[in-house]
Structure 1
Amino acid sequence: MITQGMGVLTNYGVHLAPGLVLFGLWFALTPRAMLAMRILILLTAFVLMRDAMTPLGMWSLSSEVQIAFSANAFVLAALGGMSVLLIMVLARTAPELWRLMRWTIGNPALGLAVGLVVGCLLGVPLRVYQGIEAFEIHGYWVWLPGMVVLAYGANALEEVLFRGFLQGYLEQQVTPLRAALISGVAFAACHAFLALSVTQLGWPVLLFTLIEGLACALVRMRYGVLPATVAHGTAILLIAVPYLT
């Protein structure tokens, strides 16, 4: 598992390297005072990192918005861990953006509970509709721990970018509700290339990501980025299955 996983991750890294180098240069050359531009660069780089996984066979989407991830738990855990590492790097190298972060607002325990409930409301109906039966999926329980790390680790990075940086920046320009709405719509719009070109699945993906984006943005507005991460990660975890080839 580990040897095969290292090969997958190496291939992914080599595939991404030219684009990430350019994004890194763009980010480094952009003055720190240009917050909006720096946020845009990070969002675009994230979209590249996410969407590049599809042609490499690391994940796939069905027309029913069922997400199948690599069956290699090591790959999933490594990607989730690297996402958390990237968050730590951003905290150290982009303090002007990190000041926009609000991990929790109000009662943290209540926020986490709300995030969990929202994630279940997003994921459970789709899981039931898709007929996911964990006990009938070969290797599901071996795969699940890696998927948990990916679901919450990778989506923590996505939430930091969309709800921490973007929504935090927008709240300085407009009302919190409008900032949340913009953040949610932007989240869905950043799935347009994935929906219309990479997978060609179209509106089901965009509709789900719009609902998910708005829900997470509203959770962030009221309770902070961490509860929004719980909502996002839980929803993805519930609708994910191993990608068996």
Structure 2
Amino acid sequence: MSTTTHTTLTAEADRDAFAHVRDWIFDLDNTLYPRHSDLFSQIDQRMTSYIAELMTLPRDEARVVQKDLYRRYGTTLRGLMAEREIDPDAFLRFVHDIDYSWLEPNPHLGEAIAALPGRKFIFTNGDRGHAERAAKQLGVLDHFEDIFDIVASDLVPKPAAETYDKFVGLHAIEVEHSAMFEDLAKNLTVPKMLGMKTILVVPRNFETTFGDYWEHEGRDGNHIDFVTDDLTTFLRKIS
């Protein structure tokens, strides 16, 4: 992974880069909880099952459709709404009916989030119920001011600029005093344009499997200020 356009958190002076931040914004899936927990794989498989039943397709063909919709529309849900006019509430209930015990409680992460000065938000393309259950299992839910979910964004997912505008307006975010943490580089383009500090959270040891490489396109871009594969340690160093 190239580091030519990124700052790494290596010295005390880097803490000054966040001294002005008062609003801390976190994506949920594969950001607040680590990718290696594999929780999202359950959601991913249930989306495949939903499409297989909806379209009467074998699972392998349903998965191709699923990934195509995701790439073209930003979320599988958005694609199914556009092309199949599905009930979004029913879809969200179905795909988030998963086993949250896969997540290990992370009290150290909770302590690091609590130590950050100012407000903390979860900003997710999932729904509120999923975010609450995952954050509760991690042991970090009580540290957050609010959750901005796909329903709050009128079902328009990140990285659409209008979704960030809704979030910023709803919570009176001062973007120049904000930082956003995400596992998908494309979702940090608009925050950087708005004036936020941007932090890309990558898999541990910066590993990316071939199968999901396209999701991480642009992760060496100038719209990313910092990169970390250890969110807890990163937050400890800047708080």
Scaled by the length of structure 2, the TM-score of the pair is 0.28
**TM-score normalized by structure 1?**
0.28
* Bigger share in strand: 2
Which of the two has greater helix per residue? 1
